[in-house]
């Protein structure tokens, strides 16, 4: 009996990395896995340009960095018009889906979720208002040569979509 317990303990030690060769290797960090790094194309210091719904050119800046040990991506958006917002994006290994929480000065947070479609990340959100009114949001980020396209669409029914923002991210000068 004692011999069986001893053999079981030795087997567990070997499985848990009891050999010196295993102990000397640096363990991989969980958030270094490719699933967590798939949205890294958005990380950087960006100058963002787009055309407003009124047809006017507009510009802003977005600072996007990996945070909390590389397990999330934090965005800080600043428009030249004084608008400001923040988002936190992360991959959930349990559901194998991406999530983003966005908040700005309108005090209407948006909770997005979705996944990659080809090389683009597509996240959607549904916002319920009083009286049964609701809107749907869909944001698609696509890597471009030397930048990123962010296409934000909105819908009243989740079937027909209108563009509300079609921004081009280019590296900010001086960063």
For residue 149, the model assigns a pLDDT of: 98
C-alpha dihedral, 82 to 83 to 86 to 87, nearest 10°: -140
- Pick from 96, 80, 107: nearest CA to 34: 96
pLDDT of residue 106: 86
Cβ of 57: how many Cβ atoms within 10 Å?
8
- Residue 130, helix vs strand vs coil: helix
Q: Is the pLDDT of residue 30 over 90?
A: no
Longest dimension (CA), the chain: 82
Q: For residue 27, what pLDDT band results from cuts at 50, 70 and 90?
A: low
Contact, 77 vs 85, CB < 8 A? yes
**Residues 36-66 pLDDT 10s:** 999 999 999 999 999 988 999 999 999 999 9
Rounded CA-CA distance 19/10 in Å is: 11
Q: What is the pLDDT of residue 96?
A: 96
* Inter-residue contact 112 to 95 (CB < 8 Å): no
**What pLDDT does residue 28 have?**
55
Say if residue 20's pLDDT is above 80. Answer: no
* Annotated domain spans of the chain: 31-171
Tens digit of each residue's pLDDT (9 = 90 or more) over 103-162: 999 888 999 999 999 999 999 999 988 888 899 999 999 999 999 999 999 999 989 999
Region 90-113: mean pLDDT is: 94
Q: Which residue has the tokens 């590296």?
A: 171
End-to-end C-alpha distance for the chain, whole angstroms: 66
Tell me the CATH number for domain 31-171: 2.40.128.20
Is the pLDDT score of 174 beyond 80? no
Rounded alpha-carbon distances, angstroms, from residue 171 to 27, 147, 156: 33, 7, 34
Determine the pLDDT at residue 132: 83
């Amino acid at each position: 009996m004692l011999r069986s317990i001893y053999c079981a303990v030795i087997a567990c030690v070997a499985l848990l990395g009891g050999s010196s060769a295993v102990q000397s290797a640096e363990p991989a960090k969980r958030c270094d896995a490719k699933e967590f790094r798939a949205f890294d194309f958005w990380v950087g210091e960006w100058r963002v340009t787009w055309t407003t719904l009124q047809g006017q050119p507009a510009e802003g800046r977005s600072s996007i960095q990996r945070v909390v040990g590389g397990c999330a991506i934090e965005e800080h958006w600043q428009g030249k018009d004084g608008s400001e917002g923040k988002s936190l994006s992360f991959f959930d290994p349990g559901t194998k889906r991406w999530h983003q929480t966005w908040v700005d000065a309108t005090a209407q947070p948006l909770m997005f979720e979705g996944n990659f479609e080809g090389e683009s990340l597509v996240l959607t959100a549904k916002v319920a208002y009083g009286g049964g009114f609701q809107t749907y949001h869909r944001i698609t980020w696509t890597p471009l040569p030397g930048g990123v396209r962010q296409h934000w669409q909105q819908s009243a029914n989740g079937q027909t979509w209108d563009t509300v923002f079609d921004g081009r991210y280019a590296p900010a000068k001086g960063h």
